[in-house]
Amino acid sequence: MTASAPPIPTLETPDVSALLAPERIGPHDGAGKTCVVAMSGGVDSAVTALVMRERGYRVIGINLRLFSPDDPDHRANPCCGIPAMDDARMTCARIGIPFYAINMEGEFREAVVQRFVDEYAAGRTPNPCLECNRHVKFRHLVERAKMIGADCLATGHYARVVHGDAGAGEPHRLLRALDPRKDQSYVLYTLTQEQLGFIHFPLGGLHKTETRELARAFELPVAEKAESQEICFVGKRSYAEFVAERRPDVTRPGEIVDSGGETLGEHRGLVHHTVGQRRGLGIATAEPLFVIRLEPDRNRLVVGPRAEAAARVIALEQVSLTSGTWPETPFSAEAMVRYRGALAPAIVEPGPEGSATARVRFGDDGPIASPGQALVFYHRDEVLGGGTIGVVE
């Protein structure tokens, strides 16, 4: 369906003109090119579509229907329901671009929702946004965009891509966003060179307040829409409630023990706890205790002081490097084990080429990490790669 509203003229106010300058949103290089924009119904994707249009591209908005919430009006999951799709449609009409919706609930349920439940039940800590990017959004959106002859795909993620010169053998590089409070590079480390060459993140050079400013200036219908803080398919429930509905066995009470095996108390189900947790253990001790690990096979929660919880060595699985080149020798990096968490200096020791494994070594005060989480390594602002935490030593 093609929107009938005419394109909105660029506003000639100094502030807006400065935000739309090439050094902020990327070069005005879209003449004669088509860009597919992933439209979630939020302000970030709306401004992404606007920005790509201002860069000269013919823009097509696509909404992925990923999850149908249980509540009748779909308000508990504001980024997945019918209202979100309607917001995306209204935004496209306002900007004057065509809008299409694609149902991918089956793919999302298998690759993201079921994995989330299974991982939590196994005592691991998954990141569903990362898995959605890896298995659903970028894989399928890039394929769909290429099928319709688009030249690129743009999304509202806060990150930056520096496109290299393929003829000169320069790789594409993934960088952190200008706004550290919104940086989403942590959940994008799985992007391949082929994907990075096709993708644009035009908000990476803006702060969130500037994104809102553009939305207001162009009177986009979602300019004042609040951000969704929940995992889309969990909504306003707790993670534990969501998992327990599908796996009641995860709520069985069991022992809380120290690293020596001494019983300190009782937990009300491992699903209520994650590695690194300090509060809500229900036991009184002289020094603060942290969750060190979960033992689903014995239904035990192991706790200890901060020094015991800190990782010295982390073994990674499913390692992906943004350069597409597997290193032959160890290298220094800064590692992040939680979304927008602190960076810790580390040495990355890659496994044999083709193994997709690595060992990451820290100093005496390493991070608290959980199997199932992503560990992402950086060099300054550049994302070098990452992997899924398998074993923490």
Active site residues: 132, 232
Give the separation between CA 204 and CA 202, rounded to whole angstroms: 6
3-state DSSP: the chain helix, strand, coil percent, rounded to 5? Answer: 30, 25, 45
CA gap 155, 12 in Å, rounded? 25
Mapping DSSP to helix (H, G, I), strand (E, B) and coil, where does residue 116 land? helix
Query: How far is 189 from 336, CA to CA, in rounded Å?
Result: 12
* 3-class secondary-structure state, position 69: coil
User: Cα 366 to the chain's mean position, in Å?
Assistant: 23
Assign 265 to helix, strand or coil.
strand
Contact 158, 200 (CB under 8 A): no
**104 contact partners, CB below 8 Å, separation of at least 6:** 64, 65, 66, 136, 140
Give residues with Cβ within 8 angstroms of 55, minimum separation 6: 25, 26, 27, 28, 29, 30, 202
Q: 92 in helix, strand or coil? A: helix
Distance, CA of 306 to CA of 202 (rounded, Å): 40
Alpha helices per DSSP H over the chain: 14-19, 22-25, 43-54, 82-95, 105-108, 114-121, 128-132, 138-147, 193-198, 208-217, 239-246, 306-309
Ordered DSSP codes for 37-62: EE--SSHHHHHHHHHHHHTTPEEEEE
Tokens of 126: 């998954």
Supply angle C-alpha 151, 156, 159, rounded to 5. Answer: 90
- Between the CA of residue 130 and those of 90, 124, 186, 191, 373, what are the distances in Å? 28, 15, 8, 10, 10
Beta bridge partners, 102, equal 64
